[in-house]
């Protein structure tokens, strides 16, 4: 089997069906819960790149496959979902959770309204509410640089630039 065929099979059977499926619910989960998914990702990379079990794989994942770690995949997916909400291409119940500071009453004069930040909902408990989309989505969006928060960008441009930003955060 060629490396390209192995990459296609792994992407179809493992990455999209096991690692990327509903991974946004894992936002804020501890490393203990994310580590098994990362181990599956590492094993898939070893299979594609014909590496042995105990070979180092992180550099190969970065340089050869251009994959993000599981934690960064979760962040990436949430940021794309927020961008989709801001373009009004997501379901209404999600779009209602992404409120720009400029449109909220009494906050249009704040500096955050100019920088296109989103309103972060108040959380009383740390464990549950900080993992909700109404908190995690705007928090991740506000942590992005201003060049990425430009609403005039198309979704494909945003995804490309976001992945570049995530790579810079992870490996620099």
Q: Beta partners for 118?
A: 100
Q: Specify the residue for token string 């989309």.
A: 133
Residue 171 predicted with pLDDT over 70: yes
Question: Which helix (H) or strand (E) segment is 21 a member of?
Answer: none
In contact, 148 and 162? CB cutoff 8 Å: yes
Using one digit for the tens of pLDDT, what is the confidence trace for 66-79? 889 999 999 999 99
**Counted domains in the chain:** 2
Give the residue from 108, 75, 80 showing the smallest Cα distance to 94: 80
Tell me how far CA of residue 126 lies from CA of 15, 21, 75, 135, in angstroms. 30, 25, 18, 11
Using one digit for the tens of pLDDT, what is the confidence trace for 46-101? 988 888 888 888 888 888 888 899 999 999 999 999 999 999 999 999 889 888 87
Q: Do 76 and 149 lie in a common domain?
A: yes
Q: Do 37 and 97 lie in a common domain?
A: no
Predicted pLDDT at 143: 92
DSSP letter for 125, please: -
Using one digit for the tens of pLDDT, what is the confidence trace for 103-159? 655 555 555 556 678 888 877 766 667 788 888 889 999 999 999 988 888 999 999
Q: Do 60 and 76 lie in a common domain?
A: no
**Helix ranges, the chain (H):** 3-10, 31-49, 58-60, 70-86, 92-95, 111-114, 133-143, 155-171
CA-to-CA distance for 113 and 10, rounded, in angstroms?
43
Parent domain of 114: 72-171
Q: Do 56 and 100 lie in a common domain?
A: no
Predicted pLDDT at 166: 93
Token digits for 92? 């209404």
Q: Of 24, 44, 67, which residue constitutes the final position of a domain?
A: 67
Q: Do 77 and 146 lie in a common domain?
A: yes
Length of the chain: 172
CA-to-CA distance for 123 and 120, rounded, in angstroms?
9
Q: Do 78 and 159 lie in a common domain?
A: yes
In contact, 131 and 27? CB cutoff 8 Å: yes
């Amino acid at each position: 089997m060629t490396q390209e065929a192995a990459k296609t099979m792994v992407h179809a059977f493992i990455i999209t069906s096991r690692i990327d499926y509903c991974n946004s619910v894992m936002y804020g989960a501890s490393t203990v819960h994310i580590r098994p998914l990362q181990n599956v990702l590492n094993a898939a990379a070893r299979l594609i790149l014909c590496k042995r079990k105990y070979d180092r794989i992180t550099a190969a994942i970065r340089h050869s496959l251009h994959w993000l770690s599981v934690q960064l995949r979760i962040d990436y997916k949430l940021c794309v979902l927020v961008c989709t909400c801001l373009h009004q291409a997501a379901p209404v119940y999600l779009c209602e959770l992404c409120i720009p500071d400029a449109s909220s009453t009494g906050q249009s004069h704040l500096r955050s309204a100019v920088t296109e930040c989103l309103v972060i909902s108040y959380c009383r408990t740390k464990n549950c509410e900080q993992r909700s989309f109404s908190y995690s989505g705007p928090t991740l969006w506000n942590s992005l640089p201003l060049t990425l928060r430009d609403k005039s960008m198309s979704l494909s441009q945003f995804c490309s630039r976001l992945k570049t930003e995530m790579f810079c955060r992870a490996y620099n």
